[in-house]
Amino acid sequence: MQLSDVVTLGKVKADALVPFNHRWVGNRFLISNDLGDHLFVTPDELRTYVEGRTVPGETLHEQLMAKNFLAAGVNIQVEAARWRRKRSFLFYGPTLHAFVLTHRCNHGCQYCHSSIVGMERTDTDMSIETAERAVDLVFQTTSPGVTIEFQGGEPLANWEVLQHIVEYSRQKNALAGKALSFSLVTNLSLMDDEKLDYLLDRKVQLCTSLDGPADLHDKIRIYKQGSSHELVTGWMRKINQRYKDMGLDPNLYRVEALPTITRPALGRWKDVVDTYIDVGCRAVFLRKLDPFGFAARSAKTLGYSMDDFLTFYINAVEYILELNKQGTQVMERHAAIMLSKILADQEPNYLDLRTPGGACIGQMGYAPDGAIYSSDEGRFVAAMGDEMFRIGDVNSSYVQLMTNAQTRALVMAGINDGQPDCVNCTYKPWCGQQTEYNYKTQGSLSGRMRDSVWCKKHKSIFDYLMAKVEKADPVEMAIFERWTTNRTLDHFLQERGAL
């Protein structure tokens, strides 16, 4: 149903209204404004609203006032402060710094999007000199918080440089006093007790890949020396136990794991979710196979349509909701991020769902040779021979990196208000762009949202979630609210100013 089905244009009382977008969701219109408020209204209520016929004291009028849909009810100062809070990331430079420590890896994952080489190719490791220059740049960011994320290849293969970066960064931070944290994305195959002791001592957050049950995981994540699944789940259990032994809250402190959904997983949403619960996870981040790098080459065997993914996603989230109702606390991260924005008025600064997008000003990717990219995805594009997203190298100055033509173009292309379809979209206040994805799938930084799979994924998930919210009973609302509760993992922050 469209606005024009219920409203006669000549009767619209534009000066009484705040600009809004609308969409038919579930059994009502969902309306939203740029401040991030939303309301479900019936066609009659929408007509009453746009014709300026609401009556003070009546429920509809008071709801519209409370949600900033009536111009007379908007407190500009309060709303400006609220907008500023949710856009606070615009006031400082990039927070996330992804360091690719090596291109070496001992796994042969079918969808791998990195430019992976064999373990003997130590020439693809980041050197200590390059690492130090990169850290020097990281500490020039105006962001009060910095996360250095170790990536690869398998970053544990370049252990000496990883340790050096941790120690060097801590030294620099004694002066800088930033909220510094480290995270390591690892397949865990090179983990040993000594490395684990160091990583736990230095509060490095651990994140791994787990694609589901053993037959699914091992079929895709090929490890010649044995079962990758056995190895990963074994270490996850061991590390989770170590967190417990350290007195950390087991509900918060666990190894993070991410699945990549491939075609063989599509019918197995239960198996994927059950695997995560079995190994102690409280969250699953259901990610579609991305179009970057080597994954594009394996699309014929592992790929699927966005419709297939959405069917998988909805089945999995329905199952997760059912488990929650039966007492198992587990969340789907994509849903949790979206609902945090919509229901809790938070801005989690998830780089794929913010505007402007995260390219350059939210994150930067550092290659082993010192090249710097707009993001990890920008680096994946480079791994396929296209340097479109290279914004400089470790010899560039921070000012050059932040102000050059590429960076400015990427930021401008990542603004929803500059997108013809987004400006009229009900989900605009909570959605975002990834210019690298637009470029890879549609050949331009801005893309065309009308036929973009990026847009289709997000719009469909928003539709699904909002239809759930529209008719949620108190039990379901309590689950959604629990998913939106912000839990900070303070343990992973380095002590400010201390060594």
Q: How far is the CB of 284 from ligand SF4 (least distance, A)?
A: 22
Q: Does 431 bind ligand SF4 (CB under 6 A)?
A: yes
Q: Does 425 bind ligand SF4 (CB under 6 A)?
A: yes
In the bound state with ligand SF4, the residue whose beta carbon lies nearer, of 115 and 441, is 441
CB 320 within 8 A of CB 330: yes
Q: Does 427 bind ligand SF4 (CB under 6 A)?
A: yes
3-class secondary structure for the chain? Answer: CCHHHHCCHHHCCHHHECCEEEEEECCEEEEEECCCCEEEECHHHHHHHHCCCCCCCCHHHHHHHHCCCEHHHCCHHHHHHHHHHHCHHHHCCCCEEEEECCCECCECCCCCCCCCECCCCHHHCCCHHHHHHHHHHHCCCCCCEEEEEEECCCHHHHHHHHHHHHHHHHHHHHHHCCEEEEEEECCCCCCCHHHHHHHHHCCEEEEEECCCCHHHHHHHCCECCCCHHHHHHHHHHHHHHHHHHCCCCCCCCCCEEECEECHHHCCCHHHHHHHHHHCCCCEECCEECCCCCHHHHCHHHHCCCHHHHHHHHHHHHHHHHHHHHCCCCCEEHHHHHHHHHHHHCCCCCCHHHCCCCCECCCEEEECCCCEEECCHHHHHHHHCCCCCCEEEECCCCHHHHHHCHHHHHHHHHCCHHHCCCHHHCCCHHHCCCCHHHHHHHHCCCCCCHHHCHHHHHHHHHHHHHHHHHHCCCHHHHHHHHHHCCCCCCHHHCCCCCCC
Q: How far is the CB of 452 from ligand SF4 (least distance, A)?
A: 7
Stretch that binds ligand SF4, among 142-150, 200-208, 426-434, 473-481 (CB under 6 A): 426-434
Stretch that binds ligand SF4, among 148-156, 292-300, 389-397, 415-423 (CB under 6 A): 415-423
Q: Does 428 bind ligand SF4 (CB under 6 A)?
A: yes
In the bound state with ligand SF4, the residue whose beta carbon lies nearer, of 153 and 291, is 291
Q: How far is the CB of 455 from ligand SF4 (least distance, A)?
A: 3
Q: Does 416 bind ligand SF4 (CB under 6 A)?
A: yes
In the bound state with ligand SF4, the residue whose beta carbon lies nearer, of 295 and 431, is 431
Q: Does 79 bind ligand SF4 (CB under 6 A)?
A: no
Q: Does 419 bind ligand SF4 (CB under 6 A)?
A: yes
In the list 101, 109, 449, 479, the residue contacting ligand SF4 (rule: CB under 6 A) is 449
Integer Rg of the chain from CA: 24
What string marks each residue from 158 to 187 as x (binds ligand SF4 by CB under 6 A) or -?
A: ------------------------------
Q: Does 265 bind ligand SF4 (CB under 6 A)?
A: no
Q: How far is the CB of 466 from ligand SF4 (least distance, A)?
A: 12
- Count of residues that interact with ligand SF4, criterion CB under 6 A: 12
Q: How many other C-beta atoms are found inside a 10 Å radius of the C-beta of residue 93? A: 18
In the list 191, 316, 367, 455, the residue contacting ligand SF4 (rule: CB under 6 A) is 455
In the list 290, 459, 461, 463, the residue contacting ligand SF4 (rule: CB under 6 A) is 459
Q: Does 441 bind ligand SF4 (CB under 6 A)?
A: no
Q: Does 465 bind ligand SF4 (CB under 6 A)?
A: no
In the list 60, 286, 422, 469, the residue contacting ligand SF4 (rule: CB under 6 A) is 422
Q: How far is the CB of 345 from ligand SF4 (least distance, A)?
A: 18
Stretch that binds ligand SF4, among 68-76, 119-127, 378-386, 414-422 (CB under 6 A): 414-422
In the bound state with ligand SF4, the residue whose beta carbon lies nearer, of 22 and 268, is 22
Q: Does 317 bind ligand SF4 (CB under 6 A)?
A: no
What does the binding site for ligand SF4 look like in residue numbers (CB under 6 A)? 416, 419, 421-422, 425, 427-428, 431, 449, 455, 458-459
